[in-house]
Amino acid sequence: MATWRQAVELAMTEKEIETLTALSRSRTEPASRVSRAAMLLAYRENPSFFAVGRRLGVHHQTVQRCVERAVAYGAVAALDDRPRPGKEPVITPEAKAWLVSLACDKAKEHGYPHELWTTRLLARHAREHGPSAGHQCVANLVQGTVCKILGQEEIKPHKVRYYLERRDAEFEQKMAEVLCVYREVQILKKSAARSKKSGKRVAIVSYDEKPGIQAIATTAPDLPPVPGVYPAFARDFEYRRHGTLSLLAGIDLLTGKVHALVKDRHRSREFIEFLKLIDAAYPAGTAIKLILDNHSAHISKETRAWLDTQPAGRFEFTFTPKHGSWLNLIEGFFSKFARSVLRHIRVTSKHELKERIMAGIDDVNRYPVIHTWSYKLAEAA
């Protein structure tokens, strides 16, 4: 004879109730966990399997099993499925370890023309060489299983993550020298703001080159957007090359003005031409300090010979460390200029590209922005 189901007493802590409430409202949790959290909360309000099942649209036995698991294992633990016995794994732990160690080598080290493994190639290699290595269980290994094994160990042998080896033994010292210049800029700005005087005796310029700016022409006219039909400009995939140009630019860190030249190349003679440009831009008594990288044109015999002809103290160079060009503020200007002026640019000749670049520089100088360096500036002496 069937008996009435007895209500099960379910005790939950405030923390468990708070956790279940959050889970029952989640949009990212698995549906089974959200449903079980709602069952337990509803049962706490009305301890009736039938009533909760009718309210949530599930069978009353489903509610009963969920509540009984919560009593036995805890409210939060009851949200997950119980572990099932499943099938015994075919691939042994030793075979998995062998496969992972194999994935940590390069494919070329095992006689393949490939530089790195692909999962398909790794599975094929395991099938061919696994049995002879004592792992018969991988004789029928498939690509999907390889992906699962590597995923468990978080190994991605088909990818390369790049890093930069620090090769300058004096990196910290040279970085400190650059930061000291930025510190000087900060002091000069504050003193100028207090005294309201013009005619500073020091100019500090952050300089670099941006080579390889391509003069690319379209082979067909661009098609403009059409409201409600084409949201963006349409451009023919084909293009015509007219060569490249180099932008030599320096930004005055005290005024924001950009000094620039556009040349076909960026050798010593072009660098000297830029030095002559900024030499003419400042009064004779002004000390011009440049922050620049270690390009050969900056330290060549030709450049040093020209500097020797200048008055003592007129030019002073501060070099960024090797692989430390990010310390140069002009890099941020180049990035912004490339995104705002050079992005998607199309011209009919190198001459037009030069004119467009210089027009962009003129536009920047019309509304100059004084750049400020803050990274580790407090540590500068």
- Tens of pLDDT, residues 340-379: 999 999 999 999 999 999 999 999 999 998 988 888 877 7
With 60 as the cut, is the pLDDT of residue 3 above it? no
Dump pLDDT digits (tens) for 280-299: 999 998 999 999 999 999 99
Which segments of 81-235 does DSSP mark as H helices, in order? 93-103, 119-129, 143-152, 171-195
- pTM of the full predicted structure? 0.68
pLDDT of residue 198: 56
The span from the CA of 38 to the CA of 20, in Å, is 7
With 60 as the cut, is the pLDDT of residue 244 above it? yes
Dump pLDDT digits (tens) for 43-86: 989 889 999 999 999 999 999 999 999 988 888 888 988 877 77
Q: How many CA atoms lie within 13 A of 263 on its CB side?
A: 15
Provide the 10 A C-beta neighbour count for residue 274: 22
- Residues near 56 by beta carbon (within 8 Å), at least 6 away in sequence: 35, 38, 39, 42, 63
Which residues face 248 on adjacent strands?
209, 261
Dump pLDDT digits (tens) for 94-144: 999 999 999 999 999 999 999 999 999 999 999 999 999 999 999 999 999
The span from the CA of 294 to the CA of 317, in Å, is 11
pLDDT-derived band at 189 (thresholds 50, 70, 90) equals confident
Based on its alpha-carbon atoms, the radius of gyration of the chain, rounded to whole angstroms, reads 35
Which residues face 210 on adjacent strands?
247
From 245, 260, 244, 246, select the one nearest 330 (Cα to Cα).
260
3-state secondary structure of 218: strand
With 90 as the cut, is the pLDDT of residue 335 above it? yes
Q: What's the mean pLDDT in 10-16?
A: 89
